[in-house]
Structure 1
């Protein structure tokens, strides 16, 4: 049985007990998790879906980790789960899953799954039902995603470290955004900084250049930067999968008055929004501070995107680049709680700002600390 290089056995035991409490409340005998974020949070290890894999967590028995034989060794190094049934790459994993459940007396169990899991296709769920005709498969929703909303002290410390990397990587990436340079230079510097400062060797995040403002999630280009360009930098460093984020715009040359004004308005509105992020605050009311303020200012005629989303653990081979388990939007009735961490972001009028924010018992705490303004390379 392996050990995680950062989280303790006690940390995982506490997580599992929280999951089991939810399973008991849902009336299921076991849960099957096959999204990489859920697997990693519960077990300490997750792998790509090149071949299907899952963690099976019974309420009253020991769990097992079903995985392709090729990855069993690295799984053993990271997970606290001792039982790891395997299959060869060309074999169907469902019969192995069925045999493992029968061996544990769970062939007639009620098994909970997240029916919106990107790991469970319609065909795979049907194959499970055929292989285990006496079992009952029910939807328990995104149980782990919900539990992950409230971060442990150890998770918060990783997010603090990731935020420090985001700050420094943004400084360095912005510094190479000069006439004759390229967006790729900024990406190279950012990713190098991630690794140098102890982060995961992962993609840097969106880095795009343009002249207007509607290019925030554009494509990394190879054209040489010229005076007057604006480079949007949104960095997403990770440590053990835990990501903090920051967003700034770099102006090459003297910034236009309208862009400076837009930045000042966004900063003031976002500062007010962040100040309101206290335990008990209703998300739609916090969202409205920025959303309605931007529209009233005339910077945008409509605000069609969210203004914040959940931060935390991201799988290195998952399809989601952001976690929308909780988001700020006009109909968000959920309530902020201490221990939540959110990426708040705003863009309008040729400017963009974002921060990573921890909700504490006494109010919001910025994890990122870069000056909240345009970055200007004259």
Structure 2
């Protein structure tokens, strides 16, 4: 989906990390890093990997059943398929030996889900002269800063989230169900070009944050209920996120006041998201602000986490960079986060990119408590 110069930029970042670790070959088996660096990824029904040398051309090793779709999507010319009756780890090791890296220093992300203890043991047994160098988290850290093209795709995904939120607010009413709201979101996703109809939690809100991962029950909505909507559309794997509360029936002055106070604190946090700012300081704006305001007796969950490319891994959220009190790392221009705050049944979130002027929202839904039949949509 990207031109070759985009991948050249990514390869250069990978080579720089390899230089820093003095490795000759990078083993790429994380589903997300595979997609990011090669343009293609596939499930781990059988082990598969791409190999990036510090000098020379990369290659891809996978099931021969996946060889044709891989060739159609990747820029890598050397694609090696193995039969289902073959040992996948042996096939990867044989390719490493055939390309002249049997004695190499091979970098591997030991935190990657694909690089299991079994995989590590098998590859070491098949390549006894190679030295495997631990590069924990490299599959994530290479992708933290987004290119302008990636941000454009994230903006496209954000626009789908905005449209879906608008459709839900226009259609929900007393007597509607959470299932109907989810169906509206899923249909909007698919019609607008998202990868799938997976919606995120759409539930009846309760408590301060307990509803964030609420179980989907298909509940009916009555006057005074708050419908919590989290939307997670993906476009070509890039996922935006957006949360809004939708009040069923008339809202109270107290509820609108709480919403305004949450949003004011979060607006201050987003404004502070500039390059060089420490994540812990940006986090404290929301965490301490909501406690000081009396809206939360304690605030133990994160206030933001990494957004970007989501593919075939067990995780549904990327916590490789999160806003917490002990997050002593600096923000960098081009990082993108899901920024969220909750209290008193109300949850608000945005997809935000770090810029020199502060955080810039990619999602454009109005910053307010929505009500049934109210779209709350504005162009950003």
TM-score of the two chains, using structure 2 as the length reference: 0.94
Q: Pick from 273, 281, 287 the counterpart of residue 285 of structure 1.
A: 281
Q: Which aligned pairs between 1:36-55 and structure 2 lie closer than 5 A?
A: 36-55=31-50
Q: 1:85 maps to which residue?
A: 80
CA contact (8 A) 2:107 2:132 kept: yes
Please report how far the alpha carbon of residue 167 of structure 1 lies from its aligned counterpart in structure 2 after TM superposition.
0.8
CA contact (8 A) 2:39 2:73 kept: yes
Segments of structure 1 that go 5 or more residues without pairing to the other structure are: 1-5
- Quote the Cα distance in structure 1 between the aligned partners of 2:111 and 2:94: 25
Q: Pick from 28, 35, 55 the counterpart of residue 33 of structure 1.
A: 28
- Quote the Cα distance in structure 2 between the aligned partners of 1:249 and 1:291: 20
Segments of structure 2 that go 5 or more residues without pairing to the other structure are: 374-380
Please report how far the alpha carbon of residue 211 of structure 1 lies from its aligned counterpart in structure 2 after TM superposition.
4.2
- Quote the Cα distance in structure 1 between the aligned partners of 2:305 and 2:219: 32
CA contact (8 A) 1:211 1:228 kept: no
Please report how far the alpha carbon of residue 9 of structure 1 lies from its aligned counterpart in structure 2 after TM superposition.
0.8
TM-score of the two chains, using structure 1 as the length reference: 0.95
User: Segments of 4+ in structure 1 off by > 6 A?
Assistant: none
Q: Pick from 96, 99, 114 the counterpart of residue 104 of structure 1.
A: 99
- Quote the Cα distance in structure 2 between the aligned partners of 1:303 and 1:12: 40
Please report how far the alpha carbon of residue 115 of structure 1 lies from its aligned counterpart in structure 2 after TM superposition.
0.8
Instruction: Report the 3-state secondary structure (helix = DSSP H, G, I; strand = E; otherwise coil) of the residue aligned with 2:212.
Output: coil
Q: 1:318 maps to which residue?
A: 313
Instruction: Check if 1:304 corresponds to 2:300.
Output: yes
CA contact (8 A) 1:267 1:372 kept: yes
- Quote the Cα distance in structure 2 between the aligned partners of 1:318 and 1:162: 20
Q: 2:351 maps to which residue?
A: 356
CA contact (8 A) 1:174 1:250 kept: yes
Q: 2:120 maps to which residue?
A: 125
Q: 2:137 maps to which residue?
A: 142
- Quote the Cα distance in structure 2 between the aligned partners of 1:97 and 1:211: 50
User: Alpha-carbon deviations, 1:283-334, whole Å to 9, x = none?
Assistant: 111111110011111111111111011111111x221111112111111111
| More moved, 180-189 vs 20-29 | 180-189
Q: Which aligned pairs between 1:268-283 and structure 2 lie closer than 5 A?
A: 268-283=264-279
CA contact (8 A) 1:258 1:349 kept: no
Q: Pick from 220, 225, 240 the counterpart of residue 221 of structure 2.
A: 225
- Quote the Cα distance in structure 1 between the aligned partners of 2:215 and 2:68: 37
Please report how far the alpha carbon of residue 247 of structure 1 lies from its aligned counterpart in structure 2 after TM superposition.
0.4
Q: 2:376 maps to which residue?
A: none
CA contact (8 A) 2:49 2:92 kept: no
Q: Pick from 67, 76, 86 the counterpart of residue 72 of structure 1.
A: 67
- Quote the Cα distance in structure 2 between the aligned partners of 1:330 and 1:58: 38
CA contact (8 A) 2:185 2:197 kept: no
- Quote the Cα distance in structure 2 between the aligned partners of 1:14 and 1:52: 27
Q: Pick from 11, 32, 57 the counterpart of residue 6 of structure 2.
A: 11
Between the two proteins, the alignment pairs up a number of residues equal to 372
Instruction: Report the 3-state secondary structure (helix = DSSP H, G, I; strand = E; otherwise coil) of the residue aligned with 1:178.
Output: coil
Q: 1:251 maps to which residue?
A: 247
Please report how far the alpha carbon of residue 202 of structure 1 lies from its aligned counterpart in structure 2 after TM superposition.
4.2
Q: CA RMSD in A?
A: 1.4
CA contact (8 A) 1:65 1:84 kept: yes
